[in-house]
């Protein structure tokens, strides 16, 4: 939430992501179907560890600038790597799994089928959207460093 208590677009996307993901994981375990998709969505949270660590590092009083910058850099690199490995790289596999298992999915009630397709598309699209922003931010930082070297 922002300081003025209004929800930002980012907050709405994040809340939607966790709400849909939570319901999806519950339904997968409750219905005992599409467990592979559930494991994928649960594993995506591995990249969140580094977001949490960044929040912690920002509040730690590390007075040595070199040490602080090194810790932050390593954490950021690990975040980008893990985000790609657990959220982006598996997307084609998940899509193929859903397509291959269409007959199995059709055994589910219609509401669960609709939820599976819409939520999977939403969460995967959101992860791609976020990764695009991450890559853009990395490029921007790299360009700034190159600009500073040429001065």
Q: What is the pLDDT along the chain (151 residues), one digit of tens a residue?
A: 445 556 677 778 778 877 887 787 777 777 777 777 777 878 888 898 998 899 888 888 877 888 888 999 999 999 999 999 999 999 999 899 889 988 988 888 898 888 888 888 988 998 999 999 999 999 998 888 777 766 5
Q: What is the pLDDT of residue 77?
A: 94
- Give just the sign of the alpha carbon dihedral 137, 47, 38, 89: positive
Q: What is the pLDDT of residue 151?
A: 59
Phi-psi region of 5 (alpha: psi -120 to 50; beta: other; left: phi over 0): left
- DSSP labels for 5-72? SPPPHHHHHHHHHHHHHHHHHHHHHHHT--HHHHHHHHHGGGGHHHHHHHHHHHHS----HHHHHHHH
């Amino acid at each position: 939430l922002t300081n003025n208590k209004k929800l930002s677009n980012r907050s709405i996307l994040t809340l939607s992501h966790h709400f849909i993901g939570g319901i999806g994981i519950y339904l997968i375990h409750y219905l005992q179907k599409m467990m592979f998709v559930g494991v994928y969505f649960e594993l995506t949270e591995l990249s969140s560890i580094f977001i949490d660590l960044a929040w912690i590092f920002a509040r730690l009083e590390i007075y040595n600038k070199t040490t602080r910058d090194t810790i932050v850099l390593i954490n950021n690199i690990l975040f980008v790597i893990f985000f790609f490995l657990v959220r982006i790289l598996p997307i084609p596999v998940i899509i193929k799994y859903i397509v291959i298992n269409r007959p199995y999915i059709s055994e589910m009630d219609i509401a669960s089928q609709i939820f599976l397709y819409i939520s999977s598309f939403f969460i995967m699209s959101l992860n791609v959207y976020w990764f695009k922003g991450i890559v853009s931010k990395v490029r921007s930082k790299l360009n700034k460093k190159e600009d500073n070297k040429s001065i």
